[in-house]
Structure 1
Amino acid sequence: MEFRLAGPTDRKLVEDLWAYCFEPRENPFFQWYFSAFYKPENVLMGFKNREMACLTHLNPYKLSLRGKKIPVSYIVGLATHPAARRGGVGGKLLSAALKEMRRRKQYLNILMPSKAGFYQHYGYEMYCHQWKETIRLEELRPLTDKTVRFGFVNNTDQWTYLATVYDAYTRSVSGYAVRDEASWRSHIEAQLAEGYIAVAFQDDQPIAYVFYSLGGETIVSGEFVYSSWKGKRGLLDYIYNHRSQGKIFQWNEGLQDQSYRFYPDGKQGHETMPFMAGRVVDVKGALEQIPYPKGAEGVVTFHTEDPLAKWNTGSFTLAVKDGMGCVTAAGADEAEIFMPIGTLALLIFGAVDVNGLVFYEKLRGSDAALATLDEFFPRTNCYINEWY
């Protein structure tokens, strides 16, 4: 197969495969994405016998990872033409995408999998789950707060209302997308193409916001963010006032939220939803880019296997000092720790700690080396809510 980045004349090919596999052209999100967000230089196309067989979008993002802004690629819209399926095309496309991301110095990659098992086979692991809450509107009443006031965001100039709340919400988590003015304006445009944005205020201070859509029995929220318990209750009060327009409210929020303990019936409508997978694009680049805990110091040598990126298969020595890492190649007989590439991603993102990975047989090594690794990669609360 041959792979190349899309050019200006490839737009119809890209749109046609998206419309075939995802939303139709008349869908509001499709119209917004290809008019305001799409960039051909971020689309990697695969050709077989001169016919397009597959493509994926490599949208650039910055994540806040352990307190540092890290450039990554977010793979979306990965699609294979039906005529080319069941021939290993997906794996070849992912391998080509990793090469392109490495060229761009994006050493970590995120992806929202439709089927996690498919991507785990290729070195991806789920680093972020969310709570998925589903509650009948009538049952929201004990959780509401009528002392806040509400306003609508109806243009992109109001982005600072949302940014204030988002920054407070993400202060104690890792793995989330860093949003600047341009990305906020993009998010607002995308949401207003499909639904509404409401903001809760305490006096003149924004304390919560919700992206939501109407039109069915279930009112669905695409983003539900708050800086305080009062803000969350205020949003639920706002949604409760829609009882003539819906019967059920469904929203997602970070696993760090524990307020489900205080719901009228915590046994119903409360479940986890796998949300985002992470992957290492380049072992050396990723480990030298991320920060390490203050006071962590030491050296550990590990061996990893990567099914898609040959440059990641081998033994590496990681030396950490003053919050920075240095990676050098090592001999196979020097390795003290053994793990697949997906396990390294879980450690970097902080989704699971060393002891957990040992328990699940995703990691093995000497006690001393494992203790050093645990010092380098403490577990974090992971959160992200990007959909494209």
Structure 2
Amino acid sequence: MSDKAKQLPNGYWCLRLGGWSLLLNRRATLLLGLVLLALLATALLALSLGAGSMDAWQALQTLLGQGNQLQQLMLFDIRLPRVLAVMVAGAALGLSGCLVQTLVQNRLATPDMIGVNEGATLAIVFFSLYLTLGSWPWWAAPLGAVLAAACLFSLCRRPGEQGYLFIVVGIALTELFDALSEFAMSSQPIAHLSALYMWSMGHFAGQGYRVVVPVLLCLLVLLPPVALLLRALSVLRLGSDTAQGLGVPVLAVQLSLLALAILIAGLGAAIGGPVIFVGMAAPILASWLLRSGPVPVWLSAALGALLLLLADTLVRVLADPVEMPAGLMTRVLGGVLLLLLLLQNRKRAD
């Protein structure tokens, strides 16, 4: 065994590219690969479901350019935009949920629990109802998320040290923003609200490339800063005092990570509305699968995409031919998960 191999930490691979080297956790890398394979299989299943006969093999052939004109129209213009929208939104929610949970050191701290998603929803509702823009104002969601974060930080300035206060204040802001959104929608004629109301419940039907592509590009721009801050985030798990002693600028890292998490969550909500519990379930499941090691940011993103796609596919099958929001299924599954977490915490306290 070479000296370089001996110096590798146990359970890691070293990827070398010229003068650059990257340490990869073996378990995290293998799990990420398996989840991505499951996501691909679920996407093919989702693409094969719906009006018109097309199995998974035909969907794959059509993706490769071998389908007939009807199959291409059905796949690329109707089904693929929805599947992409669900996966992008789920990945954004899972990623942002992992960042916030790790930062606040509490499993209940997710963008949908601290008012970020509802702030994004309020902005979309406001711009849709009161400004005639001619297109879906997806860009308003990050603005609303930032507004919610500003309100949250004005009431709780140190999320890493005030975890429960951070959550309680966030829940209060969630209810406030939700009430304002419902008040704004209730003041308009019901004939104008069908699409907006369904979107606010987590519905992905009708979302096309005009929204998915710019949101995806914005998310890709935000990923490199997240990657650069991952090491500091791992040190923060040891506590603020320890991280400060190791040279980590705690407040700057906390603010940067929270800002990134808020923008990512806002972009996810811009596509499918304030889908709840995905941002909570994906990081919890990722931590349970990984057991120990690095912060499971990328695994949480992949699991968020998989969970939301499974939920959307499930409601399509159960409610066929009626269209139902995927957010209804995530509420059911998320409620069960929350009860299990509360029961687990009660057993530990006893």
What TM-score does the superposition give when structure 1 sets the normalisation length?
Answer: 0.22
What TM-score does the superposition give when structure 2 sets the normalisation length?
Answer: 0.24
Larger radius of gyration: 1
Give the structure with the higher percent helix: 2
